[in-house]
Amino acid sequence: MIVPGDSSTMVKSQILTKYILQIIPLIVATIMLSACSTPQKSNSHASWKNTRYVPYNSQNTFETRFIKSKILKQYTGWKAVRYRFGGSSKKGIDCSAFVQLTFREQFGINLPRSTSAQQTVGKKIQRIKLKAGDLVLFRAGPTGRHIGIYLDNNKFVHVSATTGVTISSLNDQYWKKRYHTGRRVLHNSNRD
């Protein structure tokens, strides 16, 4: 029997109050999260499945970060794998095979195998307009041609004959003297 003013009633009341104060934030959070997941009607008849672009102003920044992260993911998996002319495995790889594998594995794009064929794909880009994912071509290497993938801030990923899969700078004297052209393979109307 509960008697008003009884200490056991007061303890039960405090426990109940404590329980209620703990449960209220959970209820509020649940309501807010369920509101976030409620689908909203769209006035557009277009299907998002067929849309390839992010519909907001920072698309270029988002897209650049996405492309750069994919290239760095590939680089991380291949870092320091040695150069081997004609190679296309972790036992040894050449520059054009690395570019081909990166585009296939990270972007689902099939590029030709050789540097000479890769230098004809996409659209020619001036050096000052390079963006993440652009191909960078040089007059260097055993065949007189070399290729890498531009990251940003004049950095590019490639397979060096001396250090294997690595990141270098276009500003290094060696690469600066041998730079030939850039090619844009990953493009949409906002990247061009």
151 within 8 A of 132, measured Cβ to Cβ: yes
The whole-angstrom separation of Cα 100 and Cα 147 is 10
Catalytic residue status for 45: no
The whole-angstrom separation of Cα 120 and Cα 143 is 16
User: In degrees, to the nearest 5, what angle opens at C-alpha 69 toward C-alphas 61 and 119?
Assistant: 90
Catalytic residue status for 158: yes
DSSP state of 82: P
Strands of 155-160's sheet in order across = 123-125, 179-184, 135-138, 146-150, 155-160, 164-169
| Residue 122 Rama label (left phi>0; alpha psi -120 to 50; beta) | left
Catalytic residue status for 180: no
Q: Which of 36, 95, 180, 187 is catalytic?
A: 95
Q: Which residues pair with 166 in a beta bridge?
A: 158
The whole-angstrom separation of Cα 125 and Cα 143 is 23
Task: List the catalytic residues.
Answer: 95, 146, 158
